[in-house]
Amino acid sequence: MLLELTRPELVRTGNLIDGRWSGAAEDGRYLVINPANGERFAEVPDSTAVDAHAATDAAARALPAWRATLPRERAAILRRWHALILANLEDLARIMSTEQGKPLAEARGEVHYGASYVEWFAEEGPRVYGDIIPQQQRGKRMSAVKEPIGIVAAVTPWNFPLAMIARKIAPALAVGCTVVAKPAEDTPLTALALAQLALEAGVPCGVLNMISASRDQGVAAVGDWLADARVRKITFTGSTAVGKHLARASADTLKKLSLELGGNAPFIVFEDADLDAAIEGLMASKFRNGGQTCVCPNRVYVQAGVYDAFARKLGERVAALKVGPATDDSAQIGPMINARAVEKIARHVDDALSHGARVLTGGRKLDALGPNYYAPTVLLDAKEGMVVCCEETFGPVVPLFSFEREEDVIRAANDTPYGLAAYFYTRDVRRIHRVSAQLEAGVIGANEGAVASAAAPFGGVKESGYGREGSRYGLDDYLSVKYVCEGGLD
Ligand code: NAD
């Protein structure tokens, strides 16, 4: 049984506000569904703006004492949180697979990945240096001091229920901010379990507050944070459309924003590439989480001379992928998150077929498994103008485009409003540098499909957003720089 947990109490079905678990103020609740079978998993608070406001009140009360703690004291708490996440890895993975659908092996991988951000920021927090500015005038001393920005609101998507929220909360806490957080409506339980472990690690009351809400109530709850001048920063991961809305709606109180938004990643295979390595890279990056990943290759460009050979090898690998629920240990691809996601994938594939693409493998729903399954798919003869070329499919579909010249593929790869990740395979070191420099993306994989690391700056350009998560840059979004000018020193 997926939900046989060592610690069943990690399934928290309340809001965490001011260190206490409680229902929504207006008593609303909503169901969280297991996407593998449509069954009820749990019922959680359907929080409203009233709960969001109470969370901000708690974060405001906790802020002065938390920002006054020493970086090393905060780091010690984060290290304990990291250890607790790993100690409860199996339970967290099972909760995650049940609400999100990803295979257990992937869920375990995500727990490790999310935990690595907590560890990383426990280490980076004590290294937030300021500057003594070289003297400009006699009798004056100028310095730049980095301070926590204040209350941070974190809003996250369903595709990585643990990692996306961990990599926001950890840097915020590390530098002395307090947090109000709302995980995605489909996947609140992993995040709430994470919050429980934060309490156990010693995060003081009010420093981390988390509320769950259905889609519509969640919009209203986040709306309260958008309008509240005490909330100084919004950190958001999700779709570009919602990111733009948050940017507009936070204008009145001019919050600092970091936006990790949608992508439309190109994956380019040049004729001089190691084709087997390119296939491995594509399988790893495309089919992670069933293709529901913001950095998933969405468009695969293969140079004409190797197109047929590449397609043949890829088709065999994709056709062999095992699809099934997380209860099946051999499953490599789980269900999509919900019926809307499956409909979107089917619409993209149908559109491609009606414009001349051909199915090499897949291309259909797998209704025998349940309503939310779609077969891993490879489409041949993909062309510009098809929806798969310009919209994020967010599913297990590989459209194969053909190209002749390097300059053509770079133009095609950049011909999108998005700019999150881009991948290419070549054995020519000069081409690696040339193409890396020209691709408009925040993250580049050159002969590499697995780019994620807590040590690396992750984020996009263009309409994929701004701000960076992970690495030493990941703290900047939670800090403001104060300039102190001391006079009369001569
Ligand atoms: P989404 O934008 O629909 O929702 C994300 C979060 O925003 C959820 O918590 C949701 O409840 C909330 N939300 C939705 N509408 C809102 C509104 N009007 N006001 C306030 N909050 C609102 O995205 P999703 O479908 O959950 O996630 C998929 C998207 O996330 C994809 O586009 C994917 O590329 C992107 N994503 C980006 C990254 C990244 O790091 N760049 C990582 C993962 C996912």
| Nearest CA residue ID for atom 19, ligand 1 | 219
Rounded CA separation 284/9 (Å) = 34
Contact assessment for residue 21 and residue 55, using Cβ atoms and an 8 Å cutoff: no
**What pLDDT is recorded for position 399?**
98
What is residue 440's predicted lDDT score, i.e. its pLDDT?
98
228 CB under 6 A from ligand 1?
no
Output the pLDDT for position 1: 74
| Predicted local distance difference test score (pLDDT) of residue 443 | 98
Ligand 1 proximity of 260 Cβ (cutoff 6 Å): yes
User: Residue 318 Cα, ligand 1 centroid: separation in angstroms?
Assistant: 28
Which of 238, 278, 311, 314 has the alpha carbon at shortest distance from 423?
278
First to last CA, the chain: 74
Q: Is 263 in the pocket of ligand 1 (CB under 6 A)?
A: yes
Specify the pLDDT at position 5. 98
The single-letter code of the amino acid at 389 is C
418 Cβ closer than 6 Å to some ligand 1 atom: no
Catalytic annotation on 99?
no
Gyration radius (Cα) of the chain, Å: 23
Tokens 């062309």 found at: 383
Are 299 and 388 a contacting pair, CB within 8 Å? yes
Tell me, using a 6 A CB cutoff, whether residue 163 lines ligand 1.
no
Cα angle 416, 417, 422; round to 5: 60
Contacts of 104 (CB under 8 A, 6+ apart): 2, 93, 94, 97, 326, 329
pLDDT score of 19: 98
The residue whose CB lies within 8 Å of the most ligand 1 atoms, and thus the one to mutate among 164, 185, 212, 239, is 239
Domains located in the chain, CATH noted: 8-261+464-483 (3.40.605.10), 265-453 (3.40.309.10)
Residue nearest to atom 9 of ligand 1 (CA): 184
The pLDDT value recorded for residue 114 is 98
- Centroid of ligand 1 to alpha carbon of 236 (angstroms): 8
Tokens of 352: 């491609």
Confidence (pLDDT) at 392: 96
What is the distance between the alpha carbons of residues 221 and 100, in angstroms, rounded to a whole number?
A: 23
Q: Give 3-state DSSP helix, strand, coil % of the chain, rounded to 5.
A: 45, 20, 35
DSSP 24: -
- Residue 20 CA to its chain's centroid (Å): 27
Closest to 265 measured CA to CA, from 303, 300, 307, 304:
300
Length of the chain: 490
219 lines ligand 1 (CB under 6 A): yes
Q: Is the CB of 244 under 6 A from ligand 1?
A: no
Minimum CA distance residue for ligand 1 atom 30: 238
| 244: three-class secondary structure by DSSP | helix
Q: Splitting the chain (490 residues) into consecutive groups of 10 residues, what average pLDDT does each group show?
A: 93 98 98 97 98 98 98 98 99 98 98 98 98 97 98 98 98 99 98 98 99 97 98 98 98 97 98 98 98 97 98 98 96 97 98 98 97 97 97 97 98 98 98 98 98 98 98 97 97
CA of 238 relative to ligand 1 center, distance in Å = 2
Q: How far away, in angstroms, is 299 Cα from ligand 1 center?
A: 21
Active-site position among 185, 260, 463, 469: 260
